[in-house]
Amino acid sequence: MQLYLPIADIPVNVFLVLAMGAAVGFVSGMFGIGGGFLMTPLLIFIGITPAVAVASVASHIAASSFSGALSYWRRRAIDPALASVLLCGGVTGTTLGVWTFTQLRALGQLDLMIALSYVVLLTTVGSLMFSEGLRALMRTRRGALPPRRSHNWIHGLPLKMRFKRSKIYLSVIPVVIVGIVIGFIGAIMGIGGGFILVPIMIYLLRVPTSTVIGTSMVLTVVTMLFATMLHAATNHLVDAVLALILMVGGVTGAQFGARAGQKIRGEQLRLLLGLLILSVGIRFAIELVIQPSDLFTIRELGVSR
């Protein structure tokens, strides 16, 4: 069944988009991430322009992350103080990201920038996560203990603040910087950034795993909601029809993904997630090299109308 998307300006198969939303929701529920890194490329592959895909997926990520954040809040697995400091940087980064998005679109370089960003980010992060997951799996099979985490130079920075829920004493400087980076990347690429934020908070900031996922979801909800409003107000690229279909499929798939994720060990999840991210990055690179004109059909939505 074909449905016309008014902002994307193309007809799409409703069942195909629902299936994509369900599949990404399944992955999101299994790995505890937003899934924007997967949904945005999938939309681009079926013919939706990168600008509309990024702007519309932001609302999908915000909605799907909201239910997860509520669940973690009920379990007291969110650090309000840490989330507040992250949001100070996140809102700033999102504003800068949407402004950059608008400038690149005006110059006609937005589609290419989104493509190159996905190729570089996904292949790099995917390779690192895959190798770390593989090492963790090998250590588990050998029965070896994981390496001890020692404090690094970040913990010697000034302007320290005590985050009681996470039981850490840390400078607000790296926390704000991390928030800015995640907000900026999310606004330009249409990703929640959880697959980047969680490892940074665990391995660099030494935030305990008991609060890291819930706290990162709070940042994702607010920054993606803010990005959606800014994209709608400044670029008029948010396709509400597309976002609604994706939400319906995503909520359904997430329920099954969460159940599947509980049956898989942590190191296996990291290995699978790294492999998935790397695969999407490689596919994007192949499409960019082989069929760049088919992948990016630039349409000036706001100018031609």
pLDDT value at 246 more than 90:
no
pLDDT value at 95 more than 90:
yes
305 band by pLDDT with thresholds 50, 70 and 90: very low
Give the Cα-Cα-Cα angle 224, 159, 186 (nearest 5 degrees).
15
CB 55, CB 231: distance < 8 Å: yes
**What is the pLDDT, as a whole number, of residue 269?**
65
**What is the pLDDT, as a whole number, of residue 34?**
65
User: Of the candidates 183, 251, 248, which has an alpha carbon nearest to the alpha carbon of residue 221?
Assistant: 183
As a whole number of angstroms, the distance between CA 64 and CA 109 comes to 30
Q: What is the pLDDT of residues 262-273, one digit of tens each?
A: 566 656 666 777
As a whole number of angstroms, the distance between CA 200 and CA 212 comes to 10
Q: Which of 67-76, 133-142, 230-239, 284-293 has the lowest mean pLDDT?
A: 284-293
Please state the rounded mean pLDDT for residues 225-252.
83
User: Of the candidates 231, 234, 256, which has an alpha carbon nearest to the alpha carbon of residue 243?
Assistant: 231
pLDDT value at 219 more than 80:
yes
Q: What is the pLDDT of residues 158-213, one digit of tens each?
A: 788 888 877 888 888 988 999 999 999 888 887 777 777 877 887 788 888 778 87
CB 192, CB 58: distance < 8 Å: no
User: Of the candidates 172, 176, 152, 173, which has an alpha carbon nearest to the alpha carbon of residue 163?
Assistant: 172
Q: What is the pLDDT of residues 15-62, one digit of tens each?
A: 888 888 888 777 776 666 667 777 888 888 788 888 888 888 887 777
CA-CA distances (angstroms) from residue 81 to 115, 152, 212? Answer: 35, 22, 12
CB hemisphere CA count around 112 (13 angstroms) = 8
The DSSP secondary-structure symbol of 205 reads: S
291 band by pLDDT with thresholds 50, 70 and 90: low
Number of helical H runs and strand E runs in the chain: 12, 4
The tokens for 155 are: 């913990």
105 band by pLDDT with thresholds 50, 70 and 90: confident
**What is the pLDDT, as a whole number, of residue 271?**
73
304 band by pLDDT with thresholds 50, 70 and 90: very low
